Structure 1
Amino acid sequence: MKLVQVHKAEKINSETFINSYMKPRLPIILKDFVHPESPALKKWDYDYFKKIAGDQKVNIYGAELESLDKVASKPIAQTTFSEYLDLIDSTPTENRLFLFNLLNLKPELKSDILYNDVTNGKILKWLPFMFFGGQGSATRNHIDIDMSHVFITQFRGIKRIWLFPWEQSDLMYKLPYNFHSLPNIKEPDYRRYPALLYLDGYEAVLHPGETLYIPSGWWHYIQYETEGYSVSVRALPFSILEKWRDSRT
């Protein structure tokens, strides 16, 4: 398996982004996709979240290594949002939140994010997703079933993301009728999964304020180097080829 670092850039105009990255489907880290004057970058923190939604019940998910051969992971516990934030802020833990979207629970928070939309209006700004995880947590290597283009912005902490193009799907040992891969890609067993030796991918290390563009159909494995949270927005597939790939997942 080979990984090269994703290029970082800022002040890219729409024409350059669409023609050089979106259409050819190449990842890039954008340093100013979220405007630096966005209120979210200044007022959002754990104390603020606990104040506005601390009593909300949340499902806790554990290490995904235990469910690599399963269609979906099951929650391991339930607690309050406030207690979960205290946990990840105080100690490394593989515990993370899944399908808890604070931006849907408190939709007024969406206006705290100002975007430099380099897609000429293709971004679904009204449909953001929010993700929380403890230091050491990770998500399984997967593709997004809707084949959207994804822009994931780190707001707190550091994430390390490995990316692989859709064309390498035959090397991934995909779980049948699903969109996850079976191997532990962080510590691959090359004897059991020899095709992993031939993977050529990218590595992106995201810091607060930076946004990773994940092209439609690309595999991605997300690791929390520290505790933290991020927000993603999507742009729907717009080419016939991308939609055809969607029908094959």
Structure 2
Amino acid sequence: MNLSPIPKVRQMNAGDFLKNHMRAAKPVVLKDFVDPRSPALQKWNYDYFKSIAGDHQVNIYGSEIESLDRVASKPVRQSTFSEYLDQILAAPTEERLFLFNLLTIKPELKSDLQYHDVTNGKVLKWLPFMFFGGEGSVTRNHIDIDMSHVFITQFQGIKRIWLFPWEQSDLLYKLPYNFHSLANVKEPDFDEFPGLKYINGYEAVISPGETLYIPSGWWHYI
């Protein structure tokens, strides 16, 4: 398996983005997709989230590596949002929150996020989710079921993401009638999944304020 670094750029205009990335289906890290003056970059941290929604009950998910042959993972337990944030700050853990929509619980947060629409109004729409995971947590290799273009922005800590184009789905052993891979790409078993030897993918490590653009239909392992 070969992974190439994803370029990081600033001040990309809509014309270049549409031509060189969205239409060409090429990922890129946008260092200023979120406006540097956006209140979210100053306000959004764990202490702030605990103060506004700490008592909210959340579903907590465990290791997805243990459920690679299943269509969906089930929550392993519940806790308050505040307790979970304290947990992931205290020590590494595989436990994470999945598709937690804090922006629905606290819709006033939407006004905190200001961004540059590099799609020029063509595809970018407001469908916000937040993802939380401590050091050691993993989201298994998958394609988004709605085949959307994804802009994933990091706000605290760092995140490593591997991307693979749709055309390599057979080599990734796509689960039939679903959007997940049967193979563990981080610790590949080449005897069971020999196609992984021939995968050509991309890697991004994103820090706070950076946004990774994932083209529609691309696999992503986080």
TM over 0.5: yes
- Deviation of 1:99 after TM superposition, in Å, equals 2.9
1:125-147 CA deviation, whole Å, 9 max, x = no partner?
3x211111011001010001111
Give the aligned residue type for 1:84.
Answer: Y
Equivalent residue number for residue 157 of structure 1: 157
Amino acid at match of 2:6: V
CA distance in 1, matches of 2:99, 2:67: 17
| Aligned partner of residue 203 in structure 1, secondary structure | strand
The answer to whether residue 47 in structure 2 is matched with residue 34 in structure 1 is no
Counterparts of 2:190 and 2:106 in 1: how far apart (Å)?
45
Tell me the TM-score normalized by structure 2: 0.98
Corresponding residue of 1:242: none
Aligned to 2:116: 116
After TM superposition, the structure 1 stretch with the greater mean CA deviation from structure 2, 91-100 or 23-32, is 91-100
* 2:45 alignment counterpart: 45
**CA displacement at 1:112 relative to structure 2:** 0.4
* 1:34 positional shift: 0.3
Cα distance in structure 2, aligned partners of 1:138 and 1:213: 19
Give per-residue Cα distances to partners, 1:85-144, cap 9 Å, x unaligned.
00001111111001321111111101101011100012113x211111011001010001
Cα RMSD after superposing both structures:
0.7
Give per-residue Cα distances to partners, 1:3-33, cap 9 Å, x unaligned: 0000000101000000011101000000000
Corresponding residue for 2:55?
55
How many residue pairs end up in the alignment? 221
Q: Which residue of 2 aligns with 1:101?
A: 101
Percent of aligned pairs with the same residue?
71
Listed one character per residue, the Cα deviations across residues 56-81 of structure 1 (whole Å, up to 9, x for unaligned) are: 00111111111010000011111000
1:129-208 → structure 2 map (5 Å cutoff): 129-208=129-208
Deviation at 1:181, TM superposition (A): 0.3
- What is the rounded CA distance, in whole Å, between the counterparts of 2:171 and 2:72 in structure 1? 21
In 1, the alpha carbon distance for the partners of 2:113 and 2:31 equals 14
SS in 1 for 2:202: strand
Gaps of 5+ in 2: none
- Alpha-carbon distance in structure 2 between the residues aligned to 1:129 and 1:13: 25
Aligned to 2:79: 79
Q: How does 1:225-236 map to 2 (within 5 A)?
A: none
Give the alignment of 1:209-224 within 5 angstroms.
Answer: 209-222=209-222
Q: Does 1:91 align with 2:91?
A: yes
Amino acid at match of 2:169: S
In the TM superposition, what is the alpha-carbon distance from 1:41 to its structure 2 partner?
0.6
Letter in 2 for 1:123: L
Cα distance in 2 for partners of 1:36, 1:99 equals: 25
1:149, 1:46 → 2: CA distance?
27
Q: For the residues of structure 2 that align with 1:31 and 1:41, how far apart are their CA atoms? A: 13
- What letter matches 1:170 in structure 2? D
